[in-house]
Structure 1
Amino acid sequence: METVIIKHPFNKRDFPEMVIALGFFDGVHKGHQEVILTARKEAEKRQLKCGVMTFFPHPKEVLRKVEEVQYLTSLEKKEELIASLGVDYLFIVEFTKTFAELNPQQFVDGYLIDFNVKHVVAGFDYSYGRLGKGTMETLPFHSRNKLSYTVVDKVEDNGRKISSTNIRLALDEGDIQLVNDYLGRTYETEGTVIQGEQRGRTIGYPTANIKSTGRTHLPTTGVYAVELKIKGQWRHGVCNVGYKPTFHDKKQLGLSVEVHVFDFSGNIYGEDVVIRWHGNIRSEKKFQSVEELIEQINNDVIVARKILKKQEKSTSVYNNT
């Protein structure tokens, strides 16, 4: 797959005839996969190349001036996942105020027709051009009938739409099982191991304190069964996301992410790591004593091991990439 970074205005270059999937694709969840795989099938049927066009940063950051969006996938992870779906070209368009001002006609002419696109695939709620005034139904008009299109209906699970918004809501509720079901793989976040308070080692549970990178959306506070990728190797562990209320007033030190890795010792400060989130064990709580906390951690480790052993039998194909 060739990745093409585009900054508006884009110097036109020649591309082979292609079918293209349009969308932001944050998370590359099952709904997004349906759109991209539909585009690939159309490309194979028409004997054309298959492309995907996505955007960065999120339009909300540019148009609504909201705080930084927390993503379900880093740009690098999104690229990796899309490549795994058999795509020939990935176009990453830098979303700016100038780009957002393109009217539907300008977008179709400059970013579809000029890219040698012959067929467009998008979700039922996709829109393009200034204020989102262009829709798939207006595409024939804006392309002067040069483009055909396929609309992919919403993908549901038990009557609920699989969407990036609903995945974020599930993360905010700590429902890791639902998150992973919607994604079709185990949710991951990236980070770097930094120096913490080193209190864990004094109670027999040393932890890796992880500073998140890539602006990925963390699950809500609580204790989770996780895997941690250290120097290319996945290791089982238990993770606490929270404010350590047993030792600090709430939010005194800010949110921390700490992973106790089973059967592991070694200095990993400064290492880039990846956390895979497998299951929610419990909510964070304040304990009356350190002894009570240690007893609870003992139980958390037992539960985490059971969850991880069960998950090993049902690992998604995505997790082998």
Structure 2
Amino acid sequence: MERYDLYVNNVMEAGRLPAGACKPKGISLAIGFFDGVHLGHQEVIRQAVALAKQQGLVPAVMTFDPHPRVVLGHGSQYTTVLTPVEDKLALFAGLGVEAAYVIHFDRPFSEVTAEQFVRSLIAPIGVRTAVVGFDFKFGHRGEGNAESLQSFGDGNIQVHVVSPVFADGGKVSSTRIREKLAAGEPRDASQLIGRPYVIQGIVVHGDARGRLLGFPTANVMPEQPYVIPQNGVYAIEIDVLPKPGTTETATRYQGVLNVGVRPTFEAPGGQLKLEAHLFDYSGDLYGREIALVFHSFIRPERKFESIDQLVAQISQDAERSRELLTEQLR
């Protein structure tokens, strides 16, 4: 999939686009922030891909980084994301997208009018069909909508609006997914996303206490500012990802994860850590990239009065994780 990083200073002001960004064949473009690439987002993208096939266009996506609300000071919670840009691009490609336009959202870009956005950016890259969600807004102060997108396209852009998608008793949204994760409900979140929630990170050195307790753990440092689920213990799968530049393939293990501050050993207010114990694994993971695949919440994190109590509980957690994963993955 081709990727184009677009910045306001060289696109909107100078009117220049990266080589290849303009598609003479024409584009069917899905537009949105797409945090989570959840069921609703997937429907927008699938419709853009389907229209591209019908009309002989290039299926493409336009997304933004960082979240507009962060730049405008309207949403500190959006400093964390469900899907960082690189994760989004991989998911887009899996949905059949062939070109992705990543707009660097900053203060100057926030001042771009809806008309400027269409005439100076959307039209020049060859958009013939645009697909947007039911609540789509764009341009300075959100002045643009689906109707103005089509109007400013001067009859050359057909706009399709996708209705909301409903699941688990309500409208699918990134906000609901965040709420589910904050409540320690990854299974419910997965019903809205359409797949398990995943955090990728690098295994870093810890204090090796887990190994001394008989349960060696991988101390995972997230690579991006992911939304971290509620503190507690989770049944997970773990993908050990290939080393860069090798022909390795990812290897999947089952395991158990603790998200929290380890109150048995650390003073209140300690650093949040993600510690994963991989079942049936032996080897050195330091420096390796792994993906934590969330399935079920097992219990809240708590302080234990003795090491023996903690070890007994970890053993129970591991057994419970095996049971849950066997039940859910069969």
TM-score bracket, shorter-length normalisation: over 0.9
**DSSP 3-state at the match of 2:124:** helix
> Residue 122 of structure 2 corresponds to which residue in structure 1?
112
Q: Map 1:124-143 to 2 at 5 A.
A: 124-143=134-153
Q: Contact (CA 8 Å) 2:168, 2:188: kept in 1 or not?
A: no
**DSSP 3-state at the match of 1:25:** coil
Query: By how many angstroms is 1:130 displaced?
Result: 0.5
Alignment coverage as a number of residue pairs = 312
1:232-268 CA-to-partner distances (Å, cap 9, x unmatched) read 21111100001111122222x3111101111222222
**DSSP 3-state at the match of 1:134:** coil
- 280, 285, 290: which one pairs with 1:268? 285
The one-letter code matched in structure 2 to 1:182 is L
> Residue 271 of structure 2 corresponds to which residue in structure 1?
254
Q: Map 1:208-247 to 2 at 5 A.
A: 208-230=218-240, 231=242, 232-247=250-265
> Residue 58 of structure 1 corresponds to which residue in structure 2?
67
1:153-205 CA-to-partner distances (Å, cap 9, x unmatched) read 11111431111111111110010101111111111101111111221122211
1:99-153 CA-to-partner distances (Å, cap 9, x unmatched) read 1111010001012111111121100111111011000122233223332211101
> Residue 305 of structure 2 corresponds to which residue in structure 1?
288
Residues in 2 aligned to 1:285 and 1:225: alpha-carbon distance in whole angstroms: 17
The one-letter code matched in structure 2 to 1:254 is Q
Residues in 1 aligned to 2:129 and 2:22: alpha-carbon distance in whole angstroms: 17
Residues in 2 aligned to 1:144 and 1:62: alpha-carbon distance in whole angstroms: 31
Residues in 2 aligned to 1:270 and 1:41: alpha-carbon distance in whole angstroms: 41
Residues in 2 aligned to 1:287 and 1:22: alpha-carbon distance in whole angstroms: 49
Query: By how many angstroms is 1:38 displaced?
Result: 0.9
Residues in 1 aligned to 2:283 and 2:60: alpha-carbon distance in whole angstroms: 44
Deviates further, 257-266 or 25-34 = 257-266
Query: By how many angstroms is 1:86 displaced?
Result: 0.8
For structure 2, list consecutive stretches of 5 or more residues without a partner in the other structure: 243-249
Q: Map 1:307-318 to 2 at 5 A.
A: 307-313=324-330
Q: Does 1:81 align with 2:91?
A: yes
Structure 1 residues 158 and 309, CA gap change in structure 2 (3 angstroms)? closer
Query: By how many angstroms is 1:293 displaced?
Result: 1.3
> Residue 14 of structure 1 corresponds to which residue in structure 2?
22
**DSSP 3-state at the match of 1:310:** helix
Q: Map 1:1-40 to 2 at 5 A.
A: 1-8=1-8, 9-10=10-11, 11-12=16-17, 14-15=22-23, 16-40=25-49
Identity value in percent: 37
Cα root mean square deviation, aligned: 1.6
Query: By how many angstroms is 1:295 displaced?
Result: 1.4
Query: By how many angstroms is 1:82 displaced?
Result: 0.3
TM-score w.r.t. structure 2 length? 0.90
The one-letter code matched in structure 1 to 2:275 is E
**DSSP 3-state at the match of 1:128:** coil
Q: Does 1:188 align with 2:198?
A: yes
> Residue 319 of structure 1 corresponds to which residue in structure 2?
none
> Residue 245 of structure 2 corresponds to which residue in structure 1?
none
**DSSP 3-state at the match of 1:127:** coil
For structure 1, list consecutive stretches of 5 or more residues without a partner in the other structure: 314-321
TM-score w.r.t. structure 1 length? 0.93
The one-letter code matched in structure 1 to 2:261 is Y
Residues in 2 aligned to 1:50 and 1:86: alpha-carbon distance in whole angstroms: 7
Q: Does 1:200 align with 2:210?
A: yes
**DSSP 3-state at the match of 1:115:** coil
- 43, 52, 66: which one pairs with 1:43? 52
Query: By how many angstroms is 1:66 displaced?
Result: 5.5
Query: By how many angstroms is 1:75 displaced?
Result: 1.4
1:53-98 CA-to-partner distances (Å, cap 9, x unmatched) read 0011111221117657111112111101000111121111111111
> Residue 187 of structure 2 corresponds to which residue in structure 1?
177
Structure 1 residues 260 and 32, CA gap change in structure 2 (3 angstroms)? same
